[in-house]
Amino acid sequence: MTPVGAAAAGVFVAGVGALGLVVGSFLTVVVHRVPAGGSVVRPRWACPACASPIRSRDNVPVVSWVLLRGRCRSCAAVVPWRYPCVEAATGLLFAGLAVLHGPSAVLPALLYAGAVGVALVVIDLDHHRLPDAIVLPSYPVLVALLALAGALSGTFPAARTTLSAGLWLAVYGLIRVATAGRGMGLGDVKLAGLLGLLLGWLGWGPSVLGLLAGFVVGGVIGLALLATGRVGRGAGIAHGPFMLAGAGLAVIAGEPVWTAWLGLLGRA
């Protein structure tokens, strides 16, 4: 890559990362209000302790929290560290996706799914819920973004995308039925179709790896929590974060792993 090309790529990644910081700031409102059934638009975001509206200068992602030393300007109440963490995590996620996929046609769909994933991870860890208010509207949005990606790139793997979503829904749906709802929440089933759509568009490698990785990650972390006494036997553990972690791994390494596996089978 030429110096000019490298500089342009760096500017692009930095710009997408900055967008992620802004989106992350919005997600802090989403994870606070959606589980309570509130609007993410009104009223204006305010300090939970003193109800003072957050000023524009105090709403710069991460930076404002650092400058104010994690406290409200009006009442000095502690602002939880999770807010800048959500902002920073979203910014880093967006930047990472920009590095992996560049200015590709599918990048908007990946960024949207990434933002939704960050919100769902936080909400599921807090409330053991994957709200329909986030998951269900994401279906038409993601389909539209993937259709746009197909139009821009000149290819749309509709059959594979649909079959992948069906595979994910079937696996998670069967687990829910087999365990009478005790081993899998309905929210997990709804999220499964969404992840199947996105990963299916990317390829069978990401789809299959993402499906398997979610259970592997969940099993490893679940055993670690049991071994360390952090949770007891029979305790409910949110599965949504594991699904999303598996999907993230699949976006990064799904296709290379799939290609390597097929190569091994071909030489066997």
What pLDDT digit, counting tens, does each position of 181-233 carry?
Answer: 777 889 999 999 999 999 999 999 999 999 999 999 988 988 888 787 777 66
52-66, 75-89, 250-264 — which one is most confidently predicted on average?
A: 75-89
By C-alpha distance, which of 118, 99, 101, 125 is closest to 11? 99
Q: Give the pLDDT mean for 62-67.
A: 87
**Hey, is 71 helix, strand or coil?**
strand
Asked if the model's pLDDT at residue 90 lies above 80, the reply is yes
Asked if the model's pLDDT at residue 64 lies above 90, the reply is no
pTM value > 0.75:
yes
Q: Enumerate residues 6+ apart whose C-beta is below 8 A from 125.
A: 238, 241
Q: What are phi and psi of 130, to 5 degrees?
A: -120, 90
What pLDDT sits at residue 173? 94
Q: Enumerate residues 6+ apart whose C-beta is below 8 A from 105.
A: 148, 149, 150, 152, 153
For the stretch 28-56, what's the b/e string if a residue is b when 16 or more beta carbons lie within 10 angstroms of its beta carbon? bbbbbbbbeeeeeeeeebebeeeeeebee
Tokens 């769902």 — which residue?
Answer: 120
**Hey, is 41 helix, strand or coil?**
coil
By C-alpha distance, which of 119, 153, 102 is closest to 40? 119
Indicate the average pLDDT of the chain: 89
Asked if the model's pLDDT at residue 235 lies above 70, the reply is no
Compute the half-sphere exposure of residue 244: CA atoms within 13 Å on the CB side of its CA. Answer: 25
pLDDT tier at 53, thresholds 50, 70, 90: confident
What pLDDT sits at residue 1? 59
Percent of the chain exceeding pLDDT 90 equals: 59
pLDDT tens digits, residue range 111-170? 999 999 999 999 999 999 999 999 999 999 999 999 999 999 888 899 999 999 999 999
Q: Enumerate residues 6+ apart whose C-beta is below 8 A from 138.
A: 112, 113, 116, 194
